[in-house]
Structure 1
Amino acid sequence: MTSAMEHRYRRLLAWYPRSWRAAHGEAFLGTLLDVADGQSRAHPTFKERWAIAEHGLEARLDRVVVPEVRNAASTVALAMGAGLALAEFVFTSWSPWIRSNPTPGLMVQVGPFRDTGFAFAALWIIALLAALTGRWAIGRATLFILMLLAGVSPYFFASPSGVWSVDRATLFLLSMCAAVAAIGRPHRSHHTAAATVGWALLGALSYASTSDFTEWLYSRSIWNGNLYAWYATGVLELVAIGLALARYWRPAFTIVLSLVPYVGALSFNRLRGYVGDSGSVTILAVPLIIGLLLLALHSAGRLELPRPPTKRTAKRSGS
């Protein structure tokens, strides 16, 4: 039984990169076998399988994005996705100030809700609560479900049922936020909840700027002619460049990775023709791609970056 159990665990350790297995694999394997033997088990538990797969993938991601940057960007992406999903829910899916069906005969409402935004908002809230309560495995699983639902909802709901889906542009943005959030571990802090509220308010302002609340807003209206997000992204990229020039690489890379959902969604949606005039994609995409390339090379150990200035160095330069 021991040899069979060892074989099963060795197969699970394939989730980890080869360098990690060479350094820690045998010790980790011995611990797993000792625990299984003490519990008289002949097979790994589901919890063990999930944990090994999760931590193994994280070890592989460490070679692409360093953990500090990945976790910080994950926090931003989680707050962004949850906040924007809540704004979409309030302004387009629910719209409590509009009491009747805005398009009778075309739209099939689900109770008081006018599109599938209520489902995405619920999934984001579950992921946020999972992060804040230290149950991030549940949060990650929820985000994977969210990305799957975002991929199928425009096709599954509209044709057979008449239930309107959140527009593809917004769905792609939410999916990108979910992907960036899932690759890290968001900070378990009240700041994460506060940032979510901030993103919800920003989303609300964006929707409010396109309507006087007398007509129902389709979720895509947040994109058409909305240059606020474009200008804000440009400013953040300039801040990241300034931080990089000052050799503060970690916050610079965090900004770069945090901007991936918006710039990626804007690029994809512009190519597919899902959105209107929202600013030049190229101006935002080029510096972001350069930043991501530097981040990947640095994380893989192929690029040595100058160290950030210390307090002692700053005092010397000041004197």
Structure 2
Amino acid sequence: MSPLERRYRRLLRLLPATHRTARGEELLGLLLDLDHGRRHPSRHETLNIIALAIRLRLTTPVTTAALTTGLGALLVAASTQPAGQTLDLFTGAVLATDMPDVIASWPQMVVLGLLPLAPLIAWLGGANRTAFTLQAIFLTVIVGWFVIDVLGGADMGINPGQQLFAYATPVLILVLLAIAARERWTAPRPRLFWWALVPLGILAWKGTGEWGRHGVYVPAAVPTVIGILTAATVAVGAAFAVRRHRTVVIIGVGLTGFVAGWLIPDPLLSNTAMQHFDGQPLPLAILVTVIAAAITGISHLARRHNPEARSLSPDEPEMR
């Protein structure tokens, strides 16, 4: 085996196993012909393989389900935030002496609170391109306001790290919506569960507004509990993934999962969860993702144990 072939075989391991089995040798022969006489893969072909690997792995059923669930959770958390804060504004966040000014401008406040729900509703309704366009418009407006404030001299006391963290969620949503429009993703199921999250998300932001005014503290034991749950989840997943040396794999992966689950949530909780009451949607998105994954798993198990439902297509209604 030549050095070029050996290096190309390493690169081709980035592709999914099914694709390597079906077309791996054919693709390898084509690459060797294109780079004949070289000892290292060319930069152009290397980038093409990496791009192909990313595209193929994004289209696998498991990856698609995970990304659509994450996208839905981010949209729920971010899109319901303005509506929830607007609801909180009229139900306790403002002193009675200041309420006349708020009531006088209620039409504008209600409209500004409800408009960010548009990308979420478009995504749940199956209009991926519309959701992407609306999210791009909202992100442009947010960034535009920030730039205008900075140019106007209102940048005193602004923390660049917090600003980047605040823009990370809408930018990530925009990227995922672009992929969803290109790959024609559909909103995750069950749809009724995701539609119910719209009013529930608004109420959650109202509730966190109430709690935030009285102070909320993350218990010190939470990182340890999350570490134990992470270790158990990773160990169970490893047990199903491997066939040999299961005991060693479970212990090793379990300990690694515990350390990661204990170290990572500590700064995440202290720096992110407390900021949830300052307008950070990421913790709520994580909570929605966990709940959605549990609902999806229960729904999948129910279909496996129900022959009639299993024989129907996902879009076909079940006759009773």
Smaller-chain TM-score bracket = 0.3 to 0.5
- Under a length normalisation based on structure 2, what TM-score does the superposition of the two structures give? 0.42
**Rg larger in structure:** 2
- Under a length normalisation based on structure 1, what TM-score does the superposition of the two structures give? 0.42
